[in-house]
């Protein structure tokens, strides 16, 4: 019968904890006052837009009406989106775009980081050169690549025709089959330096003694990488992959400038499609519903990101 006492004690314990928290808050009230402006700003610039977008997603906004005259339609926008062919096509493009861009940028970044981790003449210069794609403006990069890819007078086409390898310049961005892979190449080119920098920082944490010990034990290059280096990079790799995935899911500039989502919507990803729905077609309600879905997916990424960060922090503290 002893548990009975415990059952009576539990609410009191909770009450004590609650009053303890309130007491703590009261004791630290000035600290809260200091962070209040920041909290208010966050509420205005983050919480309100989120609330407004969710609210707007339940309304219809025909192009002939002002936004303030919007019509309540409940969950119709969500139903319309989920039952539309375009949604699934754009979602497939987004998945391919995000996974391929993230994967290739990470792998290329890892290779570059490993190569640049060794001492050699000109390492600094090479590192600076490799960072260039990441630091130049995405808008400028998009226009440059558009010119490189141009189906009539592009640089690649001119070189290939000049070398006699083909009669006509290859069609990179004016074909529904090649446009997405072509844009992914540009995106990977722009993003791999970010992965490289993150992983180079991670490589600094790999203990030299372990690598030397592994060498003494007869481990080859691949075994040293797989059993010593890579486990030390796991946390930074997780964070890098998550950050790249979120950035790619949210990508706008490259596909919008280079193709505007075309041809025939073959390079439309969620963000460009949402932009077109909202600003080109004034379907604010549908665009808001899309944004809410995107928000939920990104929140899931965010959750894993925070988990990965706290995991690495715990590890740093030897927990």
Partner 1 sequence: MTSLYLGRAIGRGIVVAAMTASLLTSSVLAAPPVDLSKWSPEYVRSIAGTEEFDTAADCAKVTPLDYTGRLTFWYQGVFEGDPDLLRQYYKDFFEAFRATYPNIVLEEQALTYNDLLDKFRTALLGNAGPMVVRLQILGGVEFASKGYLQELKPEDVGYSTEDFWPGAMKSVTWDGKTYGVPTNNETMAFIWNADVFKRAGLDPEKAPATWDDVVKYSKQIHDTLGISGYGLVARKNAGNTPYRFMPQLWGYGGGVFDEATASPTYSQVELNSPQSKAALQASYDMYVRDKSVPVSALTNQQADNQPLFLAGQLGMMISHPSDYNVMLDLQKKATGGDQEKAQTVIDNMRYGLVPTGPDGKRAVVFGGSNIHILQPEYVDGGKVDEPAAKAMVCFWTSPEWSLKMAYAGSNPGNLNGFKTKWMKERLDSIRFLDVTTSMLPYGVPFPALPETPEIMNIIVPDMLQNALTGTMTVDEAADDAAKKVEEIMGGGGL
Applying CB under 8 A, among 233, 258, 274, 308 the residue interacting with partner 1 is 258
Instruction: Decide if residue 311 touches partner 1 (CB under 8 A).
Output: no
276 interacts with partner 1 by CB under 8 A: yes
The span from the CA of 135 to the CA of 137, in Å, is: 6
Position 169 contacts partner 1 (CB under 8 A): yes
Q: Does 227 bind partner 1 (CB under 8 A)?
A: no
Instruction: State the alpha helices, DSSP H only, in the chain.
Output: 3-27, 29-42, 48-56, 76-82, 85-117, 123-135, 138-149, 155-162, 179-203, 208-216, 221-224, 230-249, 253-259, 270-275, 284-316
261 binds partner 1 (CB under 8 A): yes
Pick from 153, 164, 217, 299: which binds partner 1 (CB under 8 A)? 153
Stretch touching partner 1 by CB under 8 A, among 3-11, 102-110, 277-285, 307-315? 277-285
Cα gap 61→283, rounded to integer Å: 6
207's tokens: 């203990």
CB atoms within 10 A of CB 170: 16
The DSSP element (H or E) to which 60 belongs, if any, is strand 59-60
Distances (CA, A) of 111 to 61, 131, 195: 49, 14, 10
User: Can residue 280 be called a binding residue for partner 1 (CB under 8 A)?
Assistant: yes
* Residues between 177 and 206 with contacts to partner 1, criterion CB under 8 A: none
Within positions 39 to 98, which residues make up the interface with partner 1, using CB under 8 A?
60, 62-67, 80-81, 84, 86
102 versus 267: smaller Cβ distance to partner 1 = 267
Residue numbers of the site for partner 1 (CB under 8 A)?
60, 62-67, 80-81, 84, 86, 146, 150-153, 168-169, 171, 173-176, 258-266, 276-277, 279-283, 286
């Amino acid at each position: 019968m002893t548990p009975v006492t415990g059952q009576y004690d539990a609410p009191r314990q909770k009450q004590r904890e609650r009053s303890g928290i309130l007491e703590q808050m009261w004791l630290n009230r000035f600290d809260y006052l200091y962070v209040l402006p920041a909290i208010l700003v966050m509420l205005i610039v983050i919480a309100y837009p989120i609330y407004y977008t969710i609210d707007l997603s339940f309304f219809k906004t025909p192009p002939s009406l002002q936004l303030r005259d919007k019509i309540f339609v409940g969950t119709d926008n969500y139903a319309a989106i989920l039952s539309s062919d375009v949604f699934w096509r754009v979602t497939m493009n987004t998945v391919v775009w995000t996974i391929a861009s993230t994967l290739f940028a990470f792998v290329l970044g890892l290779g570059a980081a490993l190569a640049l981790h060794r001492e050699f003449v000109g390492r600094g210069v090479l590192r600076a050169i490799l960072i260039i794609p990441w630091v130049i403006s995405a808008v400028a990069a998009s226009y440059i690549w558009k010119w490189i890819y141009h189906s009539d007078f592009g640089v690649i086409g001119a070189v290939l025709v000049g070398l006699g390898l083909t009669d006509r310049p290859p069609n990179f961005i004016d074909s529904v089959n090649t446009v997405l892979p072509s844009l992914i190449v540009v995106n990977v080119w722009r993003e791999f330096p970010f992965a490289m920098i993150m992983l180079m920082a991670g490589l600094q944490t790999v203990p030299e003694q372990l690598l030397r010990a592994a060498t003494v034990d007869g481990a080859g290059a691949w075994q040293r990488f797989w059993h010593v280096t890579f486990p030390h990079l796991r946390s930074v790799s997780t964070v890098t992959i998550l950050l790249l995935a979120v950035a790619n899911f949210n990508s706008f500039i490259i596909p919008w400038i280079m193709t505007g989502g075309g041809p025939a919507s073959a390079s439309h990803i969620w963000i460009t499609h949402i932009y077109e729905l909202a600003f080109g077609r004034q379907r604010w309600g549908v665009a808001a519903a899309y944004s809410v879905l995107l928000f939920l997916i990104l929140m899931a990424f965010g959750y894993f990101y925070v988990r990965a960060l706290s995991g690495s922090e715990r590890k740093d503290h030897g927990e």
